[in-house]
Structure 1
Amino acid sequence: MTQYILFIQDNTESDPTLAEWGEFLDAARQSGLFKGGSAIGERITIGNAETAKPSDHIGGYMRFDAEDRQEILDLLQRHPVVIHGGSVELCEMPRS
């Protein structure tokens, strides 16, 4: 099983509705792939703030586990941010 993290960008052309989020989260839970997530609140940079790359365009994250990444990619076509013209970034987590 491979673990993935999805970074949700704050770059939609219009705002997703609560109903759209609810429908997507229901589908994600029913898929068995979804392992949790959260919106991202206040940020604090620790260390050299001058060289840190800003992450304020990331509004949240989701976690998924799957044998086949394509299952997640298919589900993400229904993600409210994608539907509203925004983008998400799916990253594979390295095995340790």
Structure 2
Amino acid sequence: MSCLPGPGELVPCVRHGYCRTVSVARGRGSGPRRPRPPRRTEAELVQWLVERPATTIGVLRRHRFTLRLVVTAERSGRVEVDPDTGRVTAVLRA
């Protein structure tokens, strides 16, 4: 049994309300998936910031650092985040 609509069935449509299906084909989700890279760690974030002393949230997101990870690192005192500018800096302890 398939949950896919049959040809000619009415399905919800964002643009038109309802439309009839023309053909039934699986989308991109049915093929083999690339494995996801492992999640970044707080240590990786700090090491990345040591090499680049100050950056922005946007740059960190493009390098696969999650907002949750940045907030965790800020709460543990390893980075400082300026919420007004989005600037993130490493806190180097002596």
TM category (shorter chain) comes to: under 0.3
Bigger radius of gyration, 1 or 2? 2
Question: Whose strand proportion is higher, 1 or 2?
Answer: 1
TM-score by length of 1: 0.26
Q: With CA pairs under 8 Å and 6+ residues apart, which has the higher RCO, 1 or 2?
A: 1
TM-score by length of 2: 0.26
